[in-house]
Amino acid sequence: MGGRVTRTEFSARVLAMRADKPPHLTIGGFKHLSWRSAPTPAERVTINRYLSQFMVPVLKGDTLPVVTCPCCGAHLYSGSEAIDAIKSQFQGGMGAGEGYCDRCIYPVKFVHTLPGDRSLSYPLAYHPSRVRADVPLGIGPREIAARKQRRAPYIGQKWIM
């Protein structure tokens, strides 16, 4: 849980996570979803298909559950602005929703648009089966600025299969 993760460590961790076969996220396994109106059966199928590209959030703590990075265990989100401003390792575009863990560069999506004019603002890490283990690490401020200029996504298809 120390400093940044090297490219070799990242690849080894992603491959180890794939071998563990963590569950894909579904509506039933995600207790943080609440609806103004219940989704129709067709919407539930579409939402489950969308959520299946993510893994079940890794939570730590009892009084204030903290979402942690599945790769390195870094603090990503707690819901408390004060705590998140100090401890959060989530980096990326909060508007676009795509980002990554600043410690190990594991891809995370924060803003989700779901069917039926529903949205979700919650960090969900991509399932390891969708993360490329052979991508060079090291997105820094210069590359983020260059991508903003090109209007390219922060993570995009380079990181996600």
d(CA 13, CA 144) in angstroms, rounded, equals 24
95 domain-assigned: yes
Selection from 77, 72, 70 nearest residue 92 by Cα: 77
Q: What are the pLDDT digits (tens) for 116-125?
A: 778 888 888 8
pLDDT single digits (tens) 20-55: 888 888 887 776 666 777 788 888 898 889 889 998
Percentage helix, strand, coil for the chain under 3-state DSSP, each rounded to 5: 30, 25, 45
d(CA 130, CA 113): 19
Instruction: Note whether residue 2 is domain-resident.
Output: no
Please give the tally of structural domains in the chain. 1
HSE-CB of 120 using CA atoms within 13 angstroms: 19
Q: Is residue 53 part of a domain?
A: yes
Question: Would the pTM of this model clear 0.95, i.e. be above it?
Answer: no
* Residue owning tokens 């979402």: 67
Please check whether residue 60 lies inside any domain of the structure: yes
Is residue 1 one of the residues assigned to a domain?
Answer: no
User: What is the Rg, in whole angstroms, of the alpha carbon atoms belonging to the chain?
Assistant: 16
Tell me, yes or no, whether 112 lies in a domain. yes
Question: Which residue stretches of the chain are H helix?
Answer: 7-20, 41-51, 81-87, 141-150, 156-159
Q: What is the residue range of 37's domain? A: 7-159
Asked if the structure places residue 128 within a domain, the reply is: yes
Range scoring the smallest mean pLDDT among 7-11, 73-77, 108-112: 7-11
Most confident segment among 12-16, 62-66, 152-156? 12-16
